[in-house]
Amino acid sequence: AAEEGGGKNLKVPQIHLPPRLSNPGVGWEHHHRATTQFVHGHLSRMKANGDPTKYLVSNTDEWKILDEHKEEIDEIHLRDLLQDSERSGAMYAEHDGVYLDFSRQRATLETLDLLEDLAEKQELTQKIKAMMTGEKINFTEKRAVLHTALRADRTEKVYVDGKNVVEEVHEVLDQIKTFTEGVRSGSIRGYTGKRLRNIISVGIGGSYLGPEFLHEVLKTEPEGINSALGYDLRFLANVDPVDVERTCADLDPEETLIVIVSKTFTTAETMLNARTMRQWLWDFMGNDKEVVRKHIVACASTSATEKVKDFGIDTDKYFFRFWDWVGGRYSVCSAAGALPISLLYGFNLFEKFLKGAQSIDKHFATAPFRENIPMIMGMLGVWNHSFLNYKTRTTLPYAEALLKLPSHIQQLDMESNGKTMTKFGVEANYNVGEIDFGEPGTNGQHSFFQLLHMGQPVPCDFIGFCQSQHDLCLDGESFSSHDELMANFFAQPDALANGKTADEVRAEGISEEDIPHRVFKGNRPSMSLLLPKLTAYAAGQLLAIYEHRTAVQGFIWDINSFDQWGVELGKKLAIDVKNHLQEARNSDDHVIEASNPASSRILNYYV
Ligand code: F6P
């Protein structure tokens, strides 16, 4: 480990650590079924040895050393760390145009070494390999987690229950290509023979946020603009009837194709919106089952096929399947994203998005720790949250076209890691799962940045691009609007790290009385991702980086990042209330008696 932090000696216990692996060597080409059995191995050891709390990662030597190391880091200001050129020269990673600068993290080169030790102790590379090769690592649902297979080349092989899933993925991609080209060429038309030019994608959560993020990226991307000419894509997610009104008020149903995206095909909000859209079509074109067969398509899991058929959809031609090994929040690369996006922008552009994600998958599987962008981001996430105790973090894209990325990350990360139960069946006694929020810059600077600079410290991810999708330069000015935007992208991380001392404020001529209000403590961590340009490919890269960051953190914390029992509960809770409301609607004098007086009172007030 490099000697950092002003030459101070670390007060860490003398614990022997195994030598580091410099290359994870997951091996992208390595496609046989993984044999690590990392979940079951731990569980059987646990049963044999009694008290499961002793298996918590916080009891490992590697974790304890990091805990001690944190005290050392608390003594060092980022302002000083940033002056160390050896450190800055080592605290960046680069892959396929993506440049990650993590020198503004409250970490030294020694911190990185210790995080690498922790990653090794937690068998991070084996867990990544298990995920990518189809081991059933979603152990509460007994499912594989294979969103990486959704962007694998046709020639790759990944097996689940003896089936090569990549072959199935490409069957569906081919089906989507043919169908979307048919719609876009006019060979596939609506019930009355009109061209299908409007697409309404009905879905919620993971069946909505990822595709919407990608749609927003492509909306202003030159290739996207050209491909979308003459077409319109809208998303209907909320069960609020106002969302229906806003989505389809000005559309001609005869020219509209409804895409129902729901893995389970049971989600209450989506199914109500789907029925509403079906009714809307019938109201205009007559109550004929052919109307549904020509205007409604479905993207759903294979296990929902019967439900899709019962809805009236033509499951031979208008059903685009995905599989139970694709989690909802990881489904943007499946038919859930492929179909609506290809209908609007053409299949070729969607393929570029897949290629961008695939590039990061390969990097994640094979790059050494210090060069591995998602691994570094994930391990620093663990460092910030579990050791430095930052409970929140923010995503700040300096690109308006990424306006929906923070919402997507919010679900991706908070639904994945918003848990406390470990795989050992005992609760974590360390921080797990950050609160994520964000907003594009510079807008955010004029709303919540006050808190980032002077309130609670929040680790920030700045995301920027060397070139704009559309730059503007006024006559006679050499500095473009994109340069203006990016000047802020570069300035903010330094301001957060360095802060401003009382002396610096005084030197500006501020009165003694006002100085305390203008001092910035600084020492606020951030990292910066810089990419060449926001294209479909770059969007794929960003998506995969954040998906893998989440997985890394879950693997280290020993939680299952791939189930979502909390939201499943929420889905059922509304049923009781719906029953109460229905009873009240069916009679004039029914008084609701809910499970407690406060609920009874507010429900009776509502009806
Ligand atoms: O909100 C919970 C959730 O289960 C998400 O994980 C999922 O993306 C969303 O609901 C939608 O589910 P479905 O695609 O089955 O309609």
pLDDT digits (tens, 9 = 90+) for 189-218: 999 999 999 999 999 999 999 999 999 999
Q: What is the ipTM of this complex?
A: 0.98
Q: Is 546 helix (H, G, I), strand (E, B) or coil?
A: helix
Q: Which residues' Cβ are closer than 6 Å to ligand 1?
A: 204-207, 262-264, 267, 270, 328-329, 415, 564, 567
d(CA 111, CA 3): 11
SS3 content of the chain, % helix, strand, coil (to 5): 50, 10, 35
Selection from 132, 141, 267 nearest residue 205 by Cα: 267
| pLDDT value at 23 more than 50 | no
pLDDT greater at residue 13 or residue 402: 402
pLDDT reported for residue 589: 87
Tokens 């330094």 locate to: 494
- The per-residue pLDDT for range 50-66, each reduced to its tens digit, is 788 999 999 999 999 99
- Mean pLDDT, the chain, rounded, equals 92
* Confidence band for 329, pLDDT divided at 50, 70 and 90: very high
Q: How wide is the angle at C-alpha 546 spanned by C-alphas 176 and 232, nearest 5°?
A: 40
Question: What integer is the mean pLDDT of 443-451?
Answer: 97
pLDDT at residue number 41: 52
DSSP codes joined into one string, 79-122: HHHTT-HHHHHHSEEEETTEEEE-TTSS--HHHHHHHHHHHHHT
Residue 427 has pLDDT above 60, yes or no: yes
Reduce the secondary structure of 381-404 to three states and give it as a string.
Answer: HHHHHHHCCCCEEEEEECCHHHCC
What is the b/e burial string over 501-515, where b = at least 16 CB atoms within 10 angstroms of the residue's CB?
eeeebeeeebeeeeb
- The Cα 79–Cα 525 span in angstroms is 11
Q: In whole angstroms, how far apart are CA 286 and each of 68, 202, 282, 289?
A: 71, 21, 5, 9
Q: Which residues contact 451 (CB under 8 A, 6 or more apart)?
A: 458
> Cα angle at 150 between 305 and 364, to 5 degrees?
150
446 in active site: yes
Encoded amino acid at 284, one letter: F
Return the residue whose CA atom lies nearest to atom 10 of ligand 1.
205
Decide the pairing of beta strands 232-236 and 256-261: unpaired
Is residue 561's pLDDT more than 80?
Answer: yes
Between CA 371 and CA 352 the distance in angstroms is 24
Question: How many beta carbons lie within 10 A of that of residue 261, not counting itself?
Answer: 32
Q: Note the pLDDT of residue 22.
A: 43
Q: Taking 80 as the threshold, does the pLDDT of residue 17 lie above it?
A: no
Question: Which tokens hold the place of 603?
Answer: 């429900």
- The string of pLDDT tens digits covering residues 260-300 is 999 999 999 999 999 999 999 999 999 999 999 999 999 99
- Distance of CA 58 from the midpoint of ligand 1 (Å): 32
By alpha-carbon position, which residue is closest to atom 13 of ligand 1? 262
User: Quick one: pLDDT band at residue 39, thresholds 50, 70, 90?
Assistant: low
Q: Residue 31 above 80 pLDDT?
A: no
Residue 36 scores a pLDDT above 80: no
> Which spans in 346-480 are helix H?
347-366, 373-382, 405-417, 449-454
Can 571 be counted among the known catalytic residues? yes
pLDDT of residue 476: 87
In order of 136, 267, 305, 409, the CA distances from 234 in angstroms are: 35, 19, 25, 20
**142: alpha, beta or left, given left = phi > 0 and alpha = psi -120 to 50?**
left
Collapsing DSSP to helix, strand or coil, 283 comes out as helix
Measure the CA–CA gap between 87 and 93, rounded to whole angstroms. Answer: 13
Q: For residue 99, how far is its CA from the centre of ligand 1 (angstroms)?
A: 33
The residue whose C-alpha atom lies closest to atom 3 belonging to ligand 1 is 205
Distance in angstroms (rounded) separating the CA atoms of residues 468 and 484: 11
Q: How confident is the model at residue 464 (pLDDT cuts 50, 70, 90)?
A: very high
